[in-house]
Structures are given as structure tokens and as C-alpha cells.
């Protein structure tokens, strides 16, 4: 096992895929959560407006963090709370443990709190002789099972109803437990109600802290947070250092975003704002009754000491992350779990495999890195495929793939990059080496010695390697006679000017796609040239090897910026390359002397997917293609990066311009290949399992399968045995040529 590894992630993945009960439980729950979230938003525009506002609030809060924490502490203290700052987990558990001992606490009731899971608060209190009971239904199930949460919002999402019934029946000694969800909920509620009344201390987290008022905000659906915070005589709120926002008015945007993103609700059942110590006495049991009711209730209540409210503000690596320009974005997380619901690997293996202690999924990696260190985050870091579907769903626009890329780069510096990573990082060199000897190379890649080499590198030998072409796209272009674009009668100027970004895969593996792209653009009256660009850097980025991509980004800004200055738009054929240009270059260069280069924004504004560009031309009335009718059916799979860039439907829209075409779009979280991910031995089975949903949906339709990315193409062809083509190949085939 390589240095840095502490887990056998491949074995864990295989175990999760073999757990059919877990597979079914997660699949049902995730499907429901995604469907409810989709229905909760009135429009895409409203979601984008709100998430921009929320992002701005979080950026301001982190920029003013110490100032706001001081203001929050002062306001909360004035209102009667005791506020302490805990530097790390030991300080936080130590303070809460000492408080429990000093107050004679025997029973603690807790509401759901990922922050308390982070510091293993239950374990620390139990070691001190205190009984801790989780009051949230999901957390109670997890506690009884002796596990950690598998999801940020739905901690027991991986458990089937039958498994939960067996667990509760065994732990509660019930011979005939109820078999329906309502009955199970009632059973747990009855078990917990007395514990709320008997508890000596209630511990909550906090969704937000309000600096302006010193209030904490608690958002829930079950009512257990209200009971935990209001019934016991001592209330402790464990608040993450990053949770404080400036103003009470800022809360409104998060109350719209968080419930919709988490559970598809317009608002949760309960929203509590607690400011300082509560004046009312605790509801304590006196002679079998709550102290505030019944004979002598008032006297008993007046004899009780005033309630206590303690706020523990936990740092545990957060302030250090806030000072780190590459990691601070993780602190914007509002724990909605939308990123997990959109993540294909998480949807199949859950948070115990794809996660750390306790944070699951892609966002769990930076949070584990921040709070537990790089070794703990190492093994599940590469489960992030960088497909960007999570960023598309995040209500605060956190670029989770970039955070994981940064951590991967740091892991490489700490533990070293393996040969496999270095091979996959250089698609450009592999193409340059294999295209000149393509017939021999393609044959050699299928031989037994090649398969042995693949196994030695940790590559699944059952995977088909991309076929190389001896006649590259650039070779074709350089020998091609100069041509003028076709122009409609009466139009003297070209319909547009584009420079085709020549990606490694189109050049060496799919030159026919590049030829079709040029043919369609010229038939549309567009002036076409090619960019003499370097590799976009995406293959190296996916391996966490960023030194070369930073050089290439600078080179490409120079080349592409010059073309844009000449009036050209940049056209990408491979969607992952477009994602690099539009999303990654700004990030890639933000720590270099090229940060803030105006050509970065220029490139973001003038780069297009080829299908996006042609559809925009059609919408603007500039697409004058002469297409023959076809009687054919096309089944379209949208690339993840097309979807994350907001252009996922463009391939299908382009095909609908072909007269007579029948077009079916199939929706799946991902094809599962995602660059080199599906080739790696430990992830290959997961990759194929992710692709299974897509394969089933494709097989439900007859017709020609259409997809844009080489990874999608490779995965679908191997998984279904069907031929896959690019949308421009279809359109080129329908052209009426003079």
C-alpha cells in the first residue's frame, strides 16, 4: 500500500456495491430528494439570484470573521449567554465535559450536530460517565447502530426500513415492532420524550450565528431541537467558527436556500432564533410532573436556579483554512447536502466509503483535511471525479471539484505522485507518441504484455483503451486547402469567426469529429481557423499535477486572447476542455503572477461548446444550414461538464434542427467514466455501476446514441455495445452540399 494510504478504498467500494440493501435505500432516498428539490425552485433564475446573494454574504463573513465573532460574542454575552472560544476539539470537549461535571450532569440530550460528530463529543462525555442520547430520529438510529452519519442531512440514509426495524426492536427489546414508518417514528418518540424531560443538559449545534444580535439559529423538522434547547436547565450550543453571518437580514436568503436545497421544502417545520439565556425556568420533573404545571408548580419553578446558556465557538482548523486562499471556500458550506445528492459516486457507495470522520462526499474531503489533516483526507480524495455536478447544485456556489484538486496536489507533494498518475496526466504526450505508429500502438495495447503492464500500474485491463489515429486532425487541417465559408445570398460578411480549440482527444483519437465540426461551421457561413494551443490541462488537473497546466494556461491565454482580439470566438469540441477554459484557469492562476489577467475573463466570455455556439446562432437567426430530412432516431446523453456549465441540452437542441429527426434525451447523474477515473483498478467497478443507470436508459430507446465527450463515448460503447457519434457528425451527414 502506497505511502499515505490508511484505507483499502477499492475493497470498501466493492463491499458497498455488493450491499444490495444499502444500494436500494440510498437509491430510493436520493431519487426522492432530487425530485423534491427540483419541484421546490420556482425558476433557475431565482436559484441563481439567491445563491449569488448567499455567496456574497459568506464572502463578507469570512473576510470580517474576527470582527464578527467579537461582535457576536459581545451581543450574546450582554443577553446572558456564556461565550467561550475553543481552539480545537480537545478544548471544546474539555470545556463541555468540565461544565457537565460541575453541574452534576448525568444525562445529556443532543440534537443533530455535525460539529459535535467532528470532535467526538459523545465519546468524550461518555468517558466521563455521562449518558448521551441523540434526540434526532436519524441520529438516534445511527447512535444505536454504533455508526457515524452517512449524510449531512439524512444520517441514516444508507439503512433500509427493514434494517431499522430490526435495530430498534433489538435495542428496545420489542418482540413485535411496527412495520410502517409512522409507527416506527411514534415508537422512537415515546422512547425519547421522557429523556428530554429528565436530561440535565441539552446540546445543540447552530445553523447560523447572527453577529448583529448575538443570536443562534436552529433549523429543523422534528421539534427535537426546540426540546433540547428549552427543556433542560443547561443548554450548550456548539457553533462552528465559520457559522457567524453579519446581520439578521442576511438570514432571509439562507432560509430560502437551505430547506429547498436540503429536503425540497420551502421552509422547515421549525426555525428557532435563540438570543441569550432564557428567562423561563427549565421544565423539570417534580413528583412525576413538569415543574411548571400542577400543584406547587410555580413554587417549585421559582426555587430552581435560572437556566444557563453556553455557546462554544469551535475553531479546529477553520481560522487557518480561512487564511488559505485555496481552501477558505469550503467554509461557505451550509450543510444542506445538495452536493451529495448530485454526486454519482456517493449515490452508490454512501458516506461511509466516500467520506471521512464525520464529513461525507466531495465536500467532506476538504472538511476532513481542515479538521483532521491531510492523511485522513487522502484515501477518498480521488473519489471526486471533478464532474462538477455538485457545484451546479451547491446553494453557495462552492467549487468542490477545485477544492479536491487542490488537496490532491498537496497530497502529491506530501506523499508523491505515482507513475499511473503521471501517465494519465499527459494525454498530449501519449497522443504524440502513439499517433505516428497508430496501427502498431492500437495492436500492442490489446496484447497480453500490455494487460500485464496495465495491472502493474493499477489500470483495469478489461477496459478498452482509446484507439489512436495515424492521420490526426491537425495533419488533415494543415494539408487542407484554404476555404471561404458558405454565405447566404445577399450576405457579404461571414456569420461569425471561430477558432477551434484543438484538444488532445479530437486531434489523436477522433479526428473525424473535428472534420465534421469544421464542415458544419463552414456550411453555416462561419469563418473557421484553428488555435495553435497547448493542452487544456484537464488530464493533469484530474491527477492533481498542476505545474504543467499552469504553464499551459498562460500559453493558451496568450494564443486564445490574441485570437479573441482579432474577433474570433473560441470553440471547444471536448466539453472537459471548455470546463478548463471557463472554470479552471481563473482558479489555476489565482496564486500566480497571472492572477487577475483580463484575458481570463475575456476567454470565459468568448469560449463556447460547439453545440452551444450553433444553437445560439439558430436562436439569433444566424444559422443558415441546408439540411436534408432524415428519418432517424437519436438518443442523447449530456456530458457532465456541459450540464455544470449550463449548456446540457444544447446537443439535443442542435439535433432537433435536423428535419425529421426524433430526439430522446436521457438523464443520468454521470456516465461513470470521467476521464481516467473508470480506468483505475480500484474505481473501475464503481465506474461501471454508475454507468449502469445510463446504460439501462439508453437501451430503452432504439436509435443512434449521441454524446460529446470521449470518456462518455468510450464508456457507453463498452457498456452497451452500441456505436456513439458526436452531434456534429449527425448534422454533417444531413448537409445538402452544393
The total number of structural domains in the chain stands at 2
Q: How far is CA 558 from CA 251, 399, 583, 602, in A?
A: 43, 26, 17, 11
For 190, counting Cβ atoms within 10 Å of its Cβ (0-12 exposed, 13-18 middle, 19+ buried), the class is exposed
Over residues 553-571, mean pLDDT: 98
pLDDT of residue 484: 72
Q: For residues 480 and 36, what is the distance between their CA atoms, to the nearest angstrom?
A: 53
User: Is 675 part of any domain?
Assistant: yes
- Tell whether the model's pLDDT for residue 293 goes beyond 60: no
CA 318 and chain centroid, separation? 20
80 confidence band (pLDDT: 50, 70, 90): very high
pLDDT above 80: residue 445: yes
In a domain, 433, yes or no: no
Contacts of 347 (CB under 8 A, 6+ apart): 26, 27, 30, 341, 669, 690
What is the rounded CA–CA span in Å between residue 165 and residue 727? 50
Pairing of strands 569-572, 607-609: parallel
- Give residues with Cβ within 8 angstroms of 180, minimum separation 6: none
Q: Across residues 654-671, what is the average pLDDT? A: 96
291 — pLDDT class (breaks 50, 70, 90)? very low
pLDDT at 491 (0 to 100): 64
Please choose, from the candidates 628, 623, 601, the residue with its C-alpha nearest in 3D space to the C-alpha of residue 612: 623
pLDDT given at position 668: 94
- What band does 68 get if pLDDT is binned at 50, 70 and 90? very high
Q: At residue 492, does pLDDT exceed 80?
A: no
Q: Which domain holds residue 157?
A: 9-287+301-318
Please give the residue that has the higher pLDDT: either 700 or 177.
700
Is 301's pLDDT higher than 70?
no
Phi/psi for 85 (5° steps) reads -105, 130
The model's confidence at residue 488, banded by pLDDT at 50, 70 and 90, is low
Overall average pLDDT of the 238-252 stretch: 98
Per-residue pLDDT at 6: 80
Contacts of 95 (CB under 8 A, 6+ apart): 84, 86, 312
Residue 676 within any structural domain of the chain: yes
Indicate the average pLDDT of the chain: 93
Does 429 reside within a domain? Answer: no
Which residue shows C-alpha cell 475553531? 315
- Written as one string, the DSSP assignment of 85-125 is EESSHHHHHHHHHHHHHHTT--EEEE---HHHHHTTHHHHH
Report d(CA 688, CA 695) in Å as an integer: 10
Pairing relationship of beta strands 244-245 and 208-210 according to DSSP bridges: parallel
Distance (Å, whole) CA 337 – CA 358: 13
Which pLDDT score, from 0 to 100, does residue 300 have? 45
Quick check: 294 pLDDT over 60?
no
Report the pLDDT value the prediction gives residue 179, as an integer from 0 to 100: 85
Report the pLDDT value the prediction gives residue 69, as an integer from 0 to 100. 98
Q: Give residue 282's pLDDT band: very low, low, confident or very high (50, 70, 90).
A: low
What distance in Å separates the CA atoms of residue 570 and residue 674, rounded to the nearest whole number? Answer: 23
Q: What 3 state SS string does 320-386 have?
A: HHHCCCCCHHHHHCCCCCHHHHCCHHHHHHHHHHCECCCCEHHHHHHHHHHHHCHHHHHHHHCCCCC
Over range 60-75, report the average pLDDT: 98
Cα-based distances in Å from 111 to 76, 201, 203, 222, 226:
21, 11, 6, 10, 9
- 214 and 72 Cβ atoms separated by less than 8 Å: yes
Average pLDDT value for residue range 55-72: 98
Count of H helices and E strands in the chain? 38, 20
Residue 558: strand, helix, or coil: helix
On the question of pLDDT at 623 being above 50, the answer is: yes
* 436 in a structural domain: no
Which domain CATH number covers 20?
3.40.50.10420
DSSP character string of 577-617: HHHIIIIIHHHHHTTSTTTT-HHHHHHHHHEEEHHHHHHHH
β-pair type (201-204, 82-86): unpaired
Secondary element (H or E) of residue 256 = helix 251-263
The Cα–Cα gap between 467 and 527 comes to 30
| Mean pLDDT score, 562-568 | 98
Written as nine digits, the cell of 597 is 489577467
pLDDT number for residue 4 = 64
64 falls within a domain:
yes
**Has residue 112 been placed in a domain?**
yes
Q: What is the mean pLDDT of residues 135-147?
A: 95
Question: Residue 150: which pLDDT band, with cuts at 50, 70 and 90?
Answer: very high
Residue 626 to residues 282, 457, 623, Cα–Cα distance (Å): 79, 50, 9
Three-state DSSP class for 412? helix
Q: What is the pLDDT of residues 580-622, one digit of tens each?
A: 999 999 999 999 999 999 999 999 999 999 999 999 999 999 9
User: pLDDT tens digit string along 176-214?
Assistant: 888 887 888 888 888 899 999 999 999 999 999 999 999
Whether the predicted pLDDT of 723 surpasses 70: yes
Our CA dihedral for 38, 41, 44, 50, rounded to 10 degrees, sits at -130
- For a pLDDT cut of 90, what percent of the chain falls above it? 88
CB of 373 closer than 8 Å to CB of 236? no
- CB atoms under 10 Å from CB of 162, counted, come to 11
The residue behind cell 470573521 is 65
- Output the pTM of the full model: 0.93
Cα(27)–Cα(40) distance, integer angstroms: 20
The mean pLDDT of 104-120, rounded to a whole number, is 98
Q: 12-46, pLDDT tens digit by residue?
A: 999 999 999 999 999 999 999 999 999 999 899 99
Q: Is residue 341 part of a domain?
A: no
Tell me the C-alpha distance between 599 and 565, whole Å.
Answer: 10
Amino acid at each position: 500500500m502506497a505511502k499515505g494510504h490508511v484505507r483499502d478504498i477499492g475493497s470498501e467500494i466493492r463491499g458497498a456495491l455488493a450491499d444490495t440493501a444499502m444500494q436500494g435505500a440510498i437509491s430510493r432516498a436520493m431519487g426522492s430528494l432530487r425530485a423534491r428539490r427540483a419541484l421546490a425552485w420556482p425558476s433557475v433564475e431565482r436559484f441563481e439570484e439567491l445563491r449569488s446573494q448567499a455567496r456574497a454574504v459568506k464572502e463578507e463573513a469570512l473576510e470580517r470573521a474576527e470582527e464578527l465573532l467579537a461582535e457576536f460574542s459581545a451581543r450574546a454575552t450582554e443577553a446572558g449567554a456564556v461565550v467561550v472560544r475553543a481552539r480545537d476539539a480537545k478544548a471544546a470537549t474539555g470545556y463541555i465535559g468540565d461544565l457537565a461535571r460541575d453541574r452534576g450532569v448525568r444525562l445529556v440530550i443532543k440534537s443533530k450536530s455535525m460539529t459535535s460528530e467532528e470532535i467526538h463529543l459523545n465519546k468524550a462525555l461518555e468517558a466521563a460517565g455521562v449518558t448521551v442520547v441523540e434526540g434526532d430520529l436519524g441520529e438516534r438510529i445511527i447512535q444505536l447502530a454504533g455508526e457515524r452519519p452517512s449524510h449531512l442531512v439524512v444520517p441514516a440514509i444508507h439503512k433500509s426500513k427493514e434494517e431499522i426495524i430490526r435495530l430498534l426492536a433489538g435495542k428496545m427489546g420489542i418482540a413485535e415492532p411496527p412495520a410502517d414508518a409512522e409507527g416506527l417514528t411514534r415508537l422512537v418518540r415515546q422512547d425519547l420524550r421522557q429523556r428530554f424531560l429528565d436530561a440535565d443538559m441539552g446540546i445543540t449545534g447552530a445553523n447560523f450565528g447572527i453577529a448583529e444580535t448575538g443570536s443562534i439559529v436552529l433549523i429543523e423538522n422534528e421539534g427535537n431541537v426546540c426540546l433540547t434547547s428549552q427543556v433542560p436547565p443547561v443548554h450548550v450550543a456548539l457553533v462552528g467558527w465559520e457559522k457567524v453571518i453579519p446581520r439578521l437580514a442576511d438570514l432571509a436568503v439562507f432560509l430560502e436556500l437551505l430547506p429547498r436545497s436540503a429536503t425540497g421544502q420551502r421552509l422547515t417545520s421549525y426555525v428557532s432564533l435563540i438570543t441569550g439565556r432564557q428567562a423561563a425556568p427549565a421544565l423539570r420533573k417534580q413528583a412525576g410532573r413538569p415543574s411548571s404545571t400542577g400543584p406547587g408548580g410555580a413554587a417549585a419553578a421559582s426555587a430552581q436556579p435560572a437556566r444557563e446558556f453556553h455557546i462554544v465557538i469551535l475553531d479546529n482548523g477553520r481560522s487557518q483554512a480561512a487564511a488559505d486562499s485555496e481552501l477558505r471556500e469550503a467554509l461557505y458550506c451550509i450543510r444542506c447536502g445538495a452536493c451529495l445528492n448530485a454526486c454519482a459516486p456517493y449515490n452508490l457507495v454512501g458516506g461511509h466509503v466516500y467520506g471521512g470522520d464525520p464529513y461525507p462526499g466531495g465536500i467532506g474531503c476538504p472538511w476532513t483535511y481542515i479538521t483532521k489533516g491531510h492523511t485522513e483526507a487522502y484515501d477518498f480524495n480521488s473519489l471526486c471525479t471533478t464532474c462538477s455536478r455538485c457545484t451546479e447544485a451547491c446553494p453557495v456556489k462552492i467549487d468542490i471539484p477545485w477544492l479536491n484538486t487542490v488537496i490532491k496536489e498537496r497530497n502529491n507533494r506530501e506523499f508523491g505522485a505515482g507513475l499511473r498518475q503521471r501517465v494519465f496526466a499527459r494525454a498530449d504526450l501519449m497522443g504524440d507518441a502513439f499517433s505516428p505508429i497508430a496501427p502498431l500502438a492500437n495492436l500492442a495495447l490489446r496484447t497480453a504484455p500490455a494487460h500485464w503492464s496495465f495491472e502493474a500500474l493499477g489500470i483495469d485491463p478489461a477496459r478498452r483503451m482509446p484507439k489512436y489515429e495515424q492521420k490526426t486532425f491537425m495533419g488533415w487541417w494543415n494539408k487542407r486547402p484554404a476555404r471561404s465559408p458558405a454565405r447566404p445570398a445577399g450576405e457579404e460578411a461571414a456569420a461569425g469567426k471561430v477558432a477551434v480549440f484543438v484538444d488532445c482527444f479530437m486531434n489523436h483519437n477522433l479526428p473525424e469529429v473535428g472534420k465534421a465540426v469544421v464542415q458544419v461551421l463552414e456550411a453555416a457561413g462561419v469563418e473557421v481557423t484553428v488555435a495553435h494551443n497547448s493542452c487544456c490541462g484537464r488530464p493533469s488537473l484530474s491527477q492533481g499535477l498542476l505545474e504543467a497546466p499552469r504553464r499551459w494556461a498562460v500559453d493558451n491565454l496568450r494564443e486564445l486572447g490574441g485570437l479573441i482580439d482579432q474577433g474570433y470566438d473560441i470553440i471547444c469540441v471536448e466539453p472537459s476542455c471548455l470546463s478548463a477554459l471557463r472554470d479552471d484557469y481563473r482558479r489555476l492562476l489565482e496564486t500566480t503572477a497571472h492572477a487577475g489577467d483580463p484575458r481570463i475573463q475575456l476567454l470565459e466570455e468568448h469560449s463556447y461548446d460547439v453545440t452551444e455556439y450553433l444553437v445560439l446562432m439558430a436562436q439569433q437567426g444566424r444559422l443558415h444550414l441546408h439540411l436534408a430530412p432524415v428519418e432517424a432516431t437519436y438518443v442523447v446523453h449530456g456530458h457532465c461538464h456541459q450540464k455544470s456549465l449550463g449548456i446540457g441540452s444544447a446537443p439535443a437542441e442542435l439535433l432537433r434542427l435536423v428535419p425529421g429527426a426524433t430526439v430522446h434525451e436521457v438523464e443520468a447523474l454521470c456516465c461513470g467514466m470521467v476521464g481516467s477515473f473508470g480506468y483505475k483498478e480500484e474505481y473501475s467497478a464503481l465506474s461501471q455501476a454508475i454507468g449502469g443507470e445510463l446504460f439501462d436508459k439508453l437501451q430503452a430507446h432504439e436509435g443512434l446514441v449521441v454524446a460529446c465527450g470521449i470518456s462518455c463515448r468510450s464508456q457507453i460503447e463498452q457498456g452497451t455495445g452500441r456505436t456513439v457519434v458526436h452531434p456534429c457528425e449527425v448534422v454533417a451527414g444531413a448537409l445538402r452540399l452544393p
